């Protein structure tokens, strides 16, 4: 699910999925370069750079990127604010 909201001086894009979710302890690590949660290592393609690069791009644009998840099996929400 993708939601776009506009405000007087900002925009917000929220991307939500119903996938495997992210464990609470891992949320602080997801923006580290090459980080891949142990549950997907070896089972999914990826380098662990996507979120790190996305956050840096958001910050260069004077915005930010946040990740929320209630844990395993609860999906994930990415919030991009600009």
Beta pairing partners, 77: 16, 68
pLDDT, position 25: 87
Residue 11: pLDDT over 70:
yes
**Residue 1, number of CB atoms within 10 A of its CB:** 9
Other C-beta atoms lying within 10 Å of the C-beta of residue 22: 22
pLDDT band at 38 (very low <50, low <70, confident <90, very high): low
- Percentage of the chain exceeding pLDDT 90: 61
pLDDT at 71: 87
Query: Which one-letter DSSP state was computed for residue 35?
Result: -
**Is the pLDDT higher at 42 or at 62?**
62
């Amino acid at each position: 699910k993708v939601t776009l909201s506009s405000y007087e001086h900002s925009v917000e894009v929220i991307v939500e999925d119903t996938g495997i979710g992210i464990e609470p302890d891992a949320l602080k690590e997801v923006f580290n370069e090459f980080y891949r949660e142990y549950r997907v290592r070896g089972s999914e393609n990826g380098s662990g750079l996507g979120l790190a690069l996305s956050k840096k791009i958001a910050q260069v644009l004077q915005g930010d990127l946040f990740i929320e998840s209630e844990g395993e099996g609860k999906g994930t929400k990415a919030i991009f604010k600009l």
